Structures are given as structure tokens and as C-alpha cells.
Structure 1
Amino acid sequence: MSKIIIAATPAHGHVAPLLTIAADLVRRGDKVVFLGGARFKERVEAVGAYFTALPAEADYDDRRMDREFPMRGQLPPGPVQLGFDVKHIFGDPVPAQYEALRRLLADIPADVVISDNLFLGALPLSLASGPGTRPVTVSVGVSPPPPATGWGPEIHVDAQEYLEKLFESVGVTLPGFALTSLITVPDHYLQLTVPGFEFPRDDLPSSFRFVGPLPSAPTGTFERPSWWKELSDGRPVVVTTQGTFANVDLEELVIPTLRVLADSGALVVAATARPGGVEDVRAIMGDIPGNARPADFIPFDLLLPHADVLVTNGGYGGVHAALRHGVPLVVGGVTEDKPLIAARVAWSGTGIDLGTARPDDAALRSAVNTVLSTPSYRARAQELAKEFTRFDALESIAELVDAAARQG
């Protein structure tokens, strides 16, 4: 039995994939301790892992970001807001995250520490001592890999100096560009995608591996709505969502999609991914279009096999869920890593990048109709779905864990 610590940034998009990993390792008989946000305690324990809460100074509720980080809401989406995120959402928790890991390791001599790629407090663990004197460190790429050099136009240069000082405060030195360190510092970096969805690069270290996306989380009890049979009535099915993070304002993408397709021959399913989402749609729109089927929560692994296109703001998990089922995309997102993901959708030929989170009606209607009427988008999405089957992320992780336990 291997002993594993899993550390996750306290946001749904980071916790969900690591919970899938935790559940698989528990199923294989390993002891798993999960270090994460307090609100995820029940979900962690439900998969059979032991839960340890992050210190308060490293925890926050990603459903209320403007309340947790008041300054963030005053910044425009894009480069300025992204610079804030790098420094304060992912950077500031480093000392508390690292201390929490050290304390856990003092009680639990883990063979492996697995973290999401933006849990920066795991980097000092690798930097403070070499392999063989500490657990094997594994970083899981739940977002696109960072660029090779420079902050680029999307992040402020002062974030580099800011992070350097934070790491110096815990006694380690970043070995160069901070974002590159996310890949080069851990013993293993596992990107949850396939080569066909990533820009070609020749600068990646030998520790970098594509392992493919994780399987969808098992669907719990789900009562199919009365309209479910309409998914198979021959109409094109358009699914729209803003994911679980940037879904405060449904008028960015969800409501416009329902509106511009109201007179189309498509069935439009809106996955609001939040409690009371249907009532919110009704309050905004008044009369819900006759071809619209809004829902608070709906499992994608059940819905997407019926979809002809997904209109989304571009979360990494949601995009890969669509591609797993060979569903092409229309993507519009400008916060967090969403522009990077949208660019990969366009580059891979699996969909259209709207270039904005608030497209005008004509652009949105045109993009959806183009994807529906152009077979190449579907064909490319199906090619990636086939490529996915050649990878097994959970098996790759289990092999690393087993190897680390033997060495330990």
C-alpha cells in the first residue's frame, strides 16, 4: 500500500480532477490524504480519502471570488486580472500551502505528493531537497501548460518578481521564469490532454508527459427531466454552459445562446451549473424560448453523447468532456486560462474561438451555424476522441505511484 498526499487549489476545476485521481488510488488500495479547501471535505471523504483542510490563509470559496478578492472584481478581464490572479490567488497562499505540506509529511511519510499545476506551494518541496530525500513530486496539468519564456502580453511582468520574493520567504529560489518552473521543478509533470490538442513545442523537459484527459466522474443519482427524450427526436442539439466558475453572469454566453437560437430548428440545452439556474434564466428572459431546455445541473457524460455542438466559455475540463464525445465547440472566454484554451480549440480545428466572453448576436449565431454545417469540425473532434483512447491518465499515475513506493 502506497501513502499519497494529494494537494489541490481550493477551486472546483482543480479539485474535481484530483478527486478522480484520489478515488482511483483508494480503489487500488492506497492510503490517500487530501489537502484541500474546507468546502470539499464531504466530497473527499465520499471517495474514501482522508481529508485535511488547508490553512485559512490558503483557503477561499471560488463560488464567491469577488467577495473573497474584492479588488479582483474591479479589474477588467484579461491581462490585468490575470496578473492579479497569478500574484494573489495562486501566489499568496504559497507559504501556508508549503507549511501545511511539511506538517502533513511530518506525520505521514508519503511516497508521493500529487498536486494540481497551480498549487504553487508544492514547488518548494521539490526545490528544498533533491530526489531520494523526499517524496516523489507529481504535478497534474489541469490547465494548459505555460509558455516557455516571458510572461507574454497576458500577464504583468511584476508577477515574476512578486513570486520570486514569496519563494525566497520560504527559503527556496525559483530557478528562472516562474511559469516554466511549474513544469521543470516537479519530478513528473502530467498534462491532462493529448498531443493533438497542444501546440507543438521542442522545449519540454523529459519529465513532461501527455497522459490524456481523466475519465468523467461517475454520475450519481440523476432523474432525467421530462424533455430528455427530445434529445433523440432528430433536431440538432446545442448545449451551452459557462461552467462552474465564471457563471455568475449568465448574460455573457448562456442567455445569448438561448436568445439567438430561439427561432432555429435546434434543441438548445442550457446547463447553468448552479442552484436556481433555471429560475435565473426565467427572471432574465421572461418567457423562455420554446426550444430551450435550461437546467440547474445536468451530467455531461449523459448529455454530451446527444450534442452536436457545445457553446462554452472554455473551461479545460468541459472542453475535454466535449472532445471525448467527438463534439465540436464554439468557445468564448476571456478570464483565467480560457483564452489559451479557446486558442487551442481553433488551432486544433475542433471549433471556433469567438475571442470574447460577450459576443454580439450575429457573431454567435454565425459561429454556431458554421460549426453545425461544416463537417470538418465534427471530424476533427472525433479524431481527438479517438486519440484520447490511446491514453490512460489514471493508469499512468498509478504506475508512477507504484514505482515511487518500490524506490521508497
Structure 2
Amino acid sequence: MSRRTSRTHRARTQEFPLSRIITTALPAHGHVSPLLAISADLATRGHEVVFLGGSRFAGAAERAGVRFVALPAEADWDDRDLDAFFPGRASLPPGPERIAFDVQHVFLDPIPHQYRALLALLEEFPADAVIADAFVQGALPLALSRPRAERPALIGIGLTPAMLPSVDTAPFGLALPPLPGEEGRARNRALQEEMDRRGEPLRRHAEKVFAGVGVRLPEGPRGQAQVTVPDEYLQLTVPGFEYPRSDAPATYRLIGALPGLVGDERPLPGWWDEVTDERPVVVVTQGTLANTDLGELVAPTVRALADRDDLLVVAATARPDGPQRLAELLGGSLPGNVRVAGYVPFDRLLPHTDVLVSNGGYGGVQTALRYGVPLVVAGASEDKPEVAARVEWAGVGLDLRTDRPAPEAVGRAVDRVLGEGRFRERARALGAEFAEYRPFDTIAELVESL
């Protein structure tokens, strides 16, 4: 099956029968949005789709045109306040301890509840396929418990940088780019052995959780089963933005990034015409979730580039009180070259953007690259260091290696990315690569071939 397709929707609907499909994601905005986009696309093609997810996303599922079923309460946390749902988390500093806590309590412990919810849904909605966010590990027992002929196909969707262990890559989480040759493989083996040793308590916990639902977790490093157990694993990126793995299974495929949201009905800000003038435009954002403290990245960027007549700086805060809050952080007023918005349609802003300063959200970074925009990345939580490492490895920007950069560091990085044409050249080349892929068509082809 081709990773790229030019077949029309009409041809597909004539050629294949319609399918019943369950889609599911963790109850977090960054996980739900891609799965609902996939759900909506499949629904427009005539497939019957049910989305299993967090209760606060019921309205979003309805707007996507699909039926909604809520996860059970034990698996229905709120990503906007994880500390409230998981007692003890707030006392742990960011870093290995908190990551281990999240793996155990946020990702592993809900597995039995996710699995039972899927089984209950399949009883009344016998689906042909389950398309699951790779972090919904409660979908894995579907494939581990019975032969393929006795169950729906399981398709995993990779929404973060690939976690698949490989002889060619350092273990996920270390944010180390590939090192070529035998030297690199030796490094990777040693690091993987050390990670396996440190991760043994979590491995034992995972085995216990899976045994509790009657299945055995396959041997191998933690994270491998997420990719190797599904019948197909579709990573939402392109080869130019993901480390090569010579030992990847045939079921692991890179299918391109999903298109960004378009058609936002919010009115454009009054200063919009300025983004099309002669000055280079620098956009800064902390994304839609990690924007509680705009002093992490937005304020330092604004301070770094304040009152420079040669630049227009757009601060996209992704919160309704963002403009007011940013002004307060800056002493009550904004520099003359800065424009601030709560929400702004990125599909319209990015074509006019010369540099994006970002905290490293996977989807946001790839959206920028789809438009050929180079980056300055400053992120230190979740998968953001891995995203930032890939930005430098791909030659499309700079990694500041912190989530609270000094204004001087941001200013130097922005000037480098603007001044050295190689970053823009590589970003545009990667944008052309993204344009070659049709991920919605690839997913639909896979579903329709079942």
C-alpha cells in the first residue's frame, strides 16, 4: 500500500465497503485533537465512527461529526490539572522522578479501565478497526489476547517523537541525536542497558498491570510494545524529522503530519495587516496547554526583541487573558514592535512568519515546518527535549535546552536563525517533504483495505 495516494474520495467509496471504527485517545488536548481530526475525516468518507475519550471532549466529538462515549472515571483525568487528579505528583520536581510517577499513574494504571471500556463498547459496536493514540495502552490487550481473525484490527497512532527502541538511536528521553557507525551503536547499547536497569521497577509494574487483564506483555524495552503490538503503527511525521531505524518492523510507518486546524471563525486582530509588511515576523508561543506562566518563554522573547524596528514580534498566548497578563509581566505596557493575541489562526499567520519561537510541542513544531518556518525551541518537559533535539538534527532551527531561557539567549538564537539562510532553506525543504504526504488518505486506505 502506497504511503502517498492520489485516489479520490469517490473512487474509494465505490471500491470499498464502509467500516465501523472506534477511535480513542488519552483525555488530553494534544492527544484528542489529532484523533478527532482522523475521526472527522473518516466520518466524511462515510465510515461509522465512535470516539472513546475524556468526558470534557464530548462537545468536540459532536462537532467532529462522530458519536462520543466517555472513558470510565478511573481513566478520565483532566490534563489541565494533573496534580489534582494524581495526589503526590505536585510534590515531585520536574525530571526523572515525575516522569516515573507519570508513567506509572497516568499511563499504566488506567490500562485495565481503558481495556474494559473498549470491550464494553465492542459488545454493542462490533468495530472493524480500533485506531488508538499510542499512549492508550489499554488498547494493546485487544491484540495480545486473541488472534487477528477474532478481533478488530488495531492501528496505533504516534503523536510524539517515535519511542521505538533501536540499535541506531539512543533511548527515548535522553534527547541525544544519532551517532553514526559502530561507535554510535555501542553508545546506544550501553545507554539502553542502563535505561533498562533503571526502568526495571516500572517494567515489573507494567507486567503486573497487563497480567491483571489476562495478557502477557512482550519482552523488550519499555515503550517497544506500543509500536510492535498493533497490527499497524502510523507515526505522524516524515523521515526528514525522525531518526532512521534500520531495525524497525514493517508495520512501523511514517505517514506525514496532520494538517493544522483551518477555518477558525474568530475575527482577526486589528493589527493583522502589519504581518504582511516588509519587516520580518517573529512569532512566539507556549502552545495551548503549557501557557500558565507566560514568563517561561513568551515574556523573555518579547524582552529580547523589544523595540527593534527591524522586527515585528507576535506573541500568541492561546489564553483569553494573555494580552493583559503579558503586559503585567512587562511592567504594564508592551514594546512598540510587539503585537499580542489570545488566539490567532496559525494557518494564516505562519505563511508570513520568518521564525517561530516555541516550547517544542510536537504538533506545533511540525505545523511550522509544513509552512517552511525555521524555529528556536525552548522546552524541558514531557517530550519537548526530544522534539527540540530533532529540530537541531534536521537543521531547521536551534535548541536552547531549557524552558526558561534568558532574553539574551533568545535574542542571539533568533538573530542566528534569521541571519543564516541555511535554517530557512532546510525548513522549506522539510516543508516540501511534508507536502508529499497525505496522512488522511493513508489512514483511510488502511481502514478500507481491512
Alignment of 1:64 onto 2:108: no
1:206 aligns with one of 210, 225, 250: 250
Q: Is the 8 A contact 1:82 1:335 kept in 2?
A: no
Which one of the candidate residues 26, 33, 38 is aligned to 2:55? 38
Counterpart residue type for residue 271 of structure 1? A
The match for 1:174 is 217
Matches within 5 A, 1:95-174: 95-148=112-165, 157=199, 158-174=201-217
Cα drift, residue 73 of structure 1: 2.7
Deviating beyond 4 angstroms after TM superposition, the runs of 4 or more aligned structure 1 residues are 149-156
How many corresponding residue pairs? 404
In structure 1, C-alpha distance between the alignment counterparts of 2:143 and 2:72, rounded to whole Å: 21
Distance 1:299 1:83 in 2: 36
* Matched AA of 1:213: A
SS of residue paired to 1:87: helix
Partner of 2:388: 342
Partners of 1:79 and 1:153 within 8 A in 2: no
Comparing 133-142 with 167-176, greater Cα deviation is found at 167-176
Amino acid at match of 1:85: D
User: Structure 2 vs 1, CA of residues 88 and 189 (structure 1 numbering), >3 Å: closer, same or farther?
Assistant: same
Deviation for aligned residue 1:102 = 0.4
For 1:271, which of 301, 316, 329 is the aligned residue?
316
Counterpart amino acid of residue 308 in structure 1: D
Q: Residue 342 of structure 1 aligns to which amino acid in structure 2?
A: A
Offset of residue 81 of structure 1 = 2.0
Q: What is the letter of the counterpart of residue 319 of structure 2?
A: R
CA distance in structure 2 between the partners assigned to 1:67 and 1:296 by the alignment: 26
Percent of counterpart pairs with the same letter?
52
Aligned to 2:275: 231
The residue type equivalent to 1:63 in the other structure is R
Alignment of 1:365-384 (within 5 A): 365-384=411-430
Structure 1 regions of 5+ residues with no counterpart?
Answer: none
Are the counterparts in 1 of residues 315 and 340 from structure 2 also a CA contact under 8 Å? yes
Contact preservation (8 Å) 2:284, 2:301? yes
Instruction: Kindly indicate whether the alpha-carbon contact (under 8 Å) linking 2:24 and 2:133 is maintained by their aligned counterparts in 1.
Output: yes
**Taking structure 1 as reference, are residues 142 and 152 closer, same or farther at Cα in structure 2, changes over 3 Å only?**
closer
How far apart are 1:173 and its partner, in Å?
1.2
Instruction: Tell me what 2:266 maps to.
Output: 222
Map Cα deviations across residues 127-156 of structure 1 (whole Å, 9 max, x no partner). 111211100000011111114169667575
- 1:52 corresponds in structure 2 to 69
Structure 2: how far apart are the matches of 1:89 and 1:272? 27
Structure 2 residue ranges without an equivalent (≥5): 1-17, 175-194
Q: CA-to-partner distance for each residue in 1:312-362, whole Å, 9 max, x for gaps?
A: 110111001100000000111111111111100000000001111011222
Q: Distance in 2 between matches of 1:207 and 1:152?
A: 20
Partner of 2:177: none
Cα RMSD between the aligned structures? 1.5
For the pair 1:388 / 2:388, whether they are aligned, the reply is: no
Which residue does 1:357 correspond to in 2? 403
| C-alpha separation in 2, matches of 1:310 and 1:68 | 33
d(CA) in 1 for partners of 2:323, 2:60: 25
TM-score for both structures, normalised by structure 1: 0.96
Aligned to 2:343: 297
Asked if the contact 1:66–1:72 (Cα under 8 Å) also holds between the matched residues in 2, the reply is yes
CA distance in 2, matches of 1:70, 1:371: 42
Partner of 1:188: 232
Instruction: Indicate the SS of the match to 1:90.
Output: helix
Q: Does the residue aligned with 1:283 lie in a helix, a strand or coil?
A: helix
1:19 is aligned to 2:36: yes
Tell me how far apart the structure 2 counterparts of residues 70 and 280 of structure 1 sit (CA, whole Å).
29
Residues 160-169 or 77-86, more deviating: 77-86
- SS for the counterpart of 2:360 is coil
Give the conservation status (yes or no) of the 8 Å contact 1:326–1:384: yes
Q: Does 1:260 align with 2:304?
A: yes
Classify the secondary structure of the residue corresponding to 1:190.
strand
Of stretches 181-190 and 123-132 in structure 1, the one that deviates more from structure 2 is: 123-132
Is the 8 Å Cα contact of residues 174 and 181 (structure 1) preserved in structure 2? yes
CA–CA distance in 2 between the matches of 1:18 and 1:221?
Answer: 22
Q: Which one is further off, 265-274 or 26-35?
A: 265-274
